[in-house]
């Protein structure tokens, strides 16, 4: 890239609410979305909740002239729902599927079956290596009693770690998606502090769209008051986040959201609002950066988020172990019952009742055994994330102590 050269990047992000048989006006919304993306010709269009691969193929065909490259991220049983359409050639692709993603027995929530993930695509734009991430984290069904909080925090940590470890050669990092977290939520802070990513809504000087940048608003005809919970005026859970490494400078020139309706004819594309960001990447020395990612204030905010997450995951782990213990206890009881039934069936007196009860008891053992294994897996996943958090926490504290000692040394020398 030449010294005074600047790369402009127009990005579109939308949670499409494309659930076969369940979402309203699916075909019509998808058609209009395709028309809009063709008309606007973004550099990248990143979509979530495209649960039907047929719909992805429909869009791929419709957008093939404007966006010659595309990818659908497959995972879990149903899929991750993530896909991307790019005006530029995608150099590399990979993905990470989150270890924890809800409970299979909460089948009416459905997240477990989806295989929520983060997709990565590497692009080269005018000599700039751009790592783009698209993700969708576990939904929050109740703000007051959020039974998925630890899973979402673990997902946020895995997302942060995935970005941290896969973007070391990137000049610019971009993350778009539906995080299902409010800006000040623990997972969101953890993600921002560990990766150094900045929020386009906070950073831009030119924002147009829904009040407070909300991406689920009451004006949208597909959004019910129940969806918004204790935030009747709307919530901000979809994001465009970015950063540039040393030697590059990135800023968000404009950020727009839809406001509960299609920009052209009034009916919304989805129950979420779309985000449209125009980013500029320039060559710039590191000192141009007004907010260094590793200053003492940032380090202290990171340590605080790490500590909170560590505690949260500890609580989740204790609960997972309690549940596993209970399921294990039921399994053992069921096994004892099975043995007892076998003894009774061998005798004369209660043979019929014993035979009748044998299959339900075997079902109980299998069911409880499966629940036991599931919660053991959950506890292991939380323990893994907690150990990683602990490791980073220790390293950050060491750096903080070293930093203070150096500052004290400098002061002493000055005196």
The rounded Cα 374 to chain-centroid distance in angstroms is 22
Which of 71, 272, 283, 375 is labelled catalytic? 272
73 binds its own copies (CB under 8 A): yes
CB of 166 to its own copies, least distance (A): 5
Stretch that binds its own copies, among 163-171, 284-292, 305-313, 400-408 (CB under 8 A): 163-171
71 binds its own copies (CB under 8 A): yes
The answer to whether residue 165 is catalytic is: no
294 binds its own copies (CB under 8 A): no
In the bound state with its own copies, the residue whose beta carbon lies nearer, of 124 and 267, is 124
115 binds its own copies (CB under 8 A): yes
Torsion of CA 93, 115, 97, 131, to 10 degrees: 40
CB of 169 to its own copies, least distance (A): 3
Q: What distances in angstroms separate CA 42 from CA 63, 84, 200, 255, 333, one per listed residue?
A: 11, 12, 17, 13, 60
399 binds its own copies (CB under 8 A): no
Q: Which residues pair with 133 in a beta bridge?
A: 120, 175
391 binds its own copies (CB under 8 A): yes
Other CB atoms within a 10 A radius of the CB of residue 171 amount to 22
366 binds its own copies (CB under 8 A): yes
- Binders of its own copies among 75-94, rule CB under 8 A? 75-77, 79, 90-94
User: Which of 10, 25, 32, 74 is close enough to bind its own copies by CB under 8 A?
Assistant: 74
297 binds its own copies (CB under 8 A): no
Helix, strand, or coil here: 235?
A: strand
Stretch that binds its own copies, among 66-74, 254-262, 280-288, 307-315 (CB under 8 A): 66-74
Q: What distances in angstroms separate CA 170 from CA 95, 123, 128, 205, 410, one per listed residue?
A: 16, 10, 8, 25, 34
Rounded Cα gap, residues 128 and 6, in angstroms: 10
What's the DSSP call for residue 212?
A: G
Give the interface size with its own copies as a residue count (CB under 8 A).
45
383 binds its own copies (CB under 8 A): yes
- The residue among 40, 51, 48, 55 whose CA lies nearest residue 13 is 48
CB of 327 to its own copies, least distance (A): 12
What's the DSSP call for residue 236?
A: -
95 binds its own copies (CB under 8 A): yes
Tell me the catalytic residues. 272
């Amino acid at each position: 890239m030449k010294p005074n050269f600047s790369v402009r990047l127009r990005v579109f992000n939308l949670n499409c609410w494309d659930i076969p048989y369940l979402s309203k006006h699916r075909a019509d919304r998808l058609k209009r979305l395709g028309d809009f993306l063709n008309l606007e010709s973004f550099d990248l269009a990143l979509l979530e909740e495209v649960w039907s691969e047929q719909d992805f193929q429909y869009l791929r065909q419709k957008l093939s002239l404007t966006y010659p490259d595309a990818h659908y991220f497959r995972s879990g049983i149903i899929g991750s729902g993530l896909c991307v359409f790019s005006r530029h050639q995608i150099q590399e692709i990979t993905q990470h599927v989150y270890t924890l993603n809800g409970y299979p027995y909460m089948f009416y929530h459905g997240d477990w079956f989806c295989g929520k993930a983060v997709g990565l695509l590497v692009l080269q734009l005018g000599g700039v290596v751009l790592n783009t991430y698209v993700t969708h984290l576990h939904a929050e069904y109740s703000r007051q009693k959020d039974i998925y909080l630890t899973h979402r925090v673990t997902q946020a940590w895995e997302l942060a770690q995935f970005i941290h470890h896969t973007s070391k050669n990137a000049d610019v990092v971009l993350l778009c998606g539906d995080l299902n977290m409010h800006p000040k939520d623990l997972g969101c802070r953890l993600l921002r502090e560990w990766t150094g990513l900045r929020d386009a809504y906070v950073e831009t000087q030119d924002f147009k769209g829904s009040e407070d940048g909300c991406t689920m608003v009451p004006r949208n005809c597909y959004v019910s008051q129940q969806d918004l919970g204790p935030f009747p005026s709307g919530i901000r859970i979809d994001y465009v986040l970015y950063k540039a490494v040393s030697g590059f400078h990135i800023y968000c020139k404009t950020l727009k959201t839809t406001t509960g309706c299609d920009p052209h004819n009034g009916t919304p594309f989805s129950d979420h609002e779309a985000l449209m960001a125009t980013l500029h990447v320039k060559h710039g020395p590191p000192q141009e950066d007004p907010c260094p990612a590793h200053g003492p204030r940032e380090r202290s905010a990171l340590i605080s988020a790490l500590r909170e997450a560590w505690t949260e995951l500890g609580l989740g782990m204790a609960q997972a172990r309690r549940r596993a213990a209970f399921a294990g206890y039921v399994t053992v009881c069921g096994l004892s019952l099975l043995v007892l039934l076998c003894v009774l069936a061998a005798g004369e007196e209660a043979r019929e009742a014993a035979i009748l009860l044998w299959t339900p008891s075997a079902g109980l053992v299998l069911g409880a055994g499966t629940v036991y294994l599931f919660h053991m897996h959950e506890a292991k996943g939380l323990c893994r994330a907690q150990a990683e958090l602990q490791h980073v926490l220790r390293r950050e504290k060491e750096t903080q102590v070293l930093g203070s000692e150096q500052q004290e040394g400098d002061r002493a020398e000055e005196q």
